[in-house]
Chains A and B, each alone.
Chain A
């Protein structure tokens, strides 16, 4: 049975037409299932756990990157506790126009196309990043200011310029240097540091920026001022220990996925 987890905002008037088109398409494709609508105080994690216990064989997050991130986390937590088998995949139907970047990277595209992708049921087992007791599919980011990074307990990194730090699992919204040897489909994470260091002495000219890339097994991010943001949706306060999660998540993806 398919279970559709609707984000709170999906019932907004603004999205009625888009959601109606999605529901029609789902019916046409014979993918009908149960709809669980999230309220302001309801937990995605408990909703998913309950539905899987009741026999759901596919979970579909319907909404934006917030609900997708919460669903990824919930599935990963359940996998870590061995409460669910690897056979329950997670799908995503993007609603609205804000988070198409994530949908594009999964090869899903628009909401209507996402329904077709669900029916094709192309399942990919993907590794996750683990940050303390939370999980991320794409990246963990934090500004460079006030940040210290300790890698594999061997060395530390200080950043002299303002910019952004990303721990990348799947590079969405992060352009990696061409010379960097990174494999997005492998089970490893990359630390990428982007700063805006450029030709400051030439008025009106800005350098292309400076990028650093590190491979690692475990790292610790310390920033007392700014939180660490997982998949653009969840904040964690430091110190945050990051490593590759021991489990993989099964995701329904399109053939045009970017990894």
Chain B
């Protein structure tokens, strides 16, 4: 089941790719899929899928339709649909998602809100 979900969140075509050698500062808003392997300071927002790679360092609030996180995030993550947190992820911030999976080894320091209305919350 987990494998099937992972396939659904693969980035086939990315509108934006932030490579490991790039640092972005400011409000980064996009309509398409975004892949981040580098550093981002500010806000990240997309109407589609966001992939935060293992080498990524993000100091920003994140909003996306679906997301997979494998890097370091300092900020809140708000995902309308499915949020997948990989074992390499280090998250300091609250997460909001309709569906969630957290792989063994991941570190999450923050509140976790799940479901459509984001009203129910549990703390890890």
Residues of A within 8 A of B (CB): 154-161, 163, 177, 179-181, 193, 195, 197, 210-215
Residues of B within 8 A of A (CB): 11-30, 32-33, 35, 37-38, 42
A212: chain B residues at CB < 8 Å are 17-19, 21-22, 38
Check if B42 sits within 8 Å of A161, measured CB to CB: no
Task: Known contacts A155-B26, A155-B28, A215-B32; decide if A179 and B14 are in contact (CB<8 Å).
Answer: yes
Complex Cα distance, B30 from A213, in Å, reads: 12
- Choose one: B13, B20, B24; the contact of A210 (CB below 8 Å): B20
Check if B32 sits within 8 Å of A156, measured CB to CB: no
Task: Known contacts A179-B12, A179-B35, A181-B33; decide if A155 and B25 are in contact (CB<8 Å).
Answer: yes
Closest partner residue, chain B, to A196 (CB atom): B21
Task: Known contacts A179-B35, A213-B14; decide if A155 and B20 are in contact (CB<8 Å).
Answer: no
4 closest pairs, A vs B, by CB?
A155-B26, A181-B13, A212-B19, A161-B21
Q: How far is the CB of B26 from chain A (nearest CB, A)?
A: 3
Check if A195 sits within 8 Å of B19, measured CB to CB: yes
Check if A154 sits within 8 Å of B21, measured CB to CB: no
- Choose one: B12, B23, B27, B30; the contact of A215 (CB below 8 Å): B30
Closest partner residue, chain B, to A153 (CB atom): B26
B27: chain A residues at CB < 8 Å are 154-155
Closest partner residue, chain B, to A156 (CB atom): B25
Complex Cα distance, B17 from A161, in Å, reads: 16
A161: chain B residues at CB < 8 Å are 21
Check if B26 sits within 8 Å of A210, measured CB to CB: no
9 residue pairs of the A-B complex, CB under 8 angstroms, read A157-B22, A159-B23, A160-B22, A160-B23, A180-B14, A180-B17, A193-B19, A210-B21, A214-B16
Considering residues B12, B14, B21, B29, which has the most beta carbons from chain A within 10 angstroms of its beta carbon?
B21
Check if B11 sits within 8 Å of A158, measured CB to CB: no
Complex Cα distance, B33 from A154, in Å, reads: 18
Q: How far is the CB of A146 from chain B (nearest CB, A)?
A: 15
B35: chain A residues at CB < 8 Å are 179
A177: chain B residues at CB < 8 Å are 17
Task: Known contacts A181-B33, A212-B38; decide if A158 and B17 are in contact (CB<8 Å).
Answer: no
- Choose one: B17, B28, B30; the contact of A179 (CB below 8 Å): B17
Check if A197 sits within 8 Å of B21, measured CB to CB: yes
Task: Known contacts A155-B27, A155-B28; decide if A210 and B19 are in contact (CB<8 Å).
Answer: yes
Check if B19 sits within 8 Å of A211, measured CB to CB: yes
Complex Cα distance, B28 from A161, in Å, reads: 21
B25: chain A residues at CB < 8 Å are 155-158
Q: How far is the CB of B21 from chain A (nearest CB, A)?
A: 4
Check if B26 sits within 8 Å of A159, measured CB to CB: no
Q: How far is the CB of A9 from chain B (nearest CB, A)?
A: 39
Additional 16 contacts, C-beta under 8 A, given A155-B42, A156-B25, A158-B25: A155-B24, A155-B27, A155-B28, A157-B25, A158-B22, A159-B22, A160-B21, A160-B23, A181-B13, A181-B15, A181-B32, A197-B19, A197-B20, A210-B20, A210-B22, A212-B19
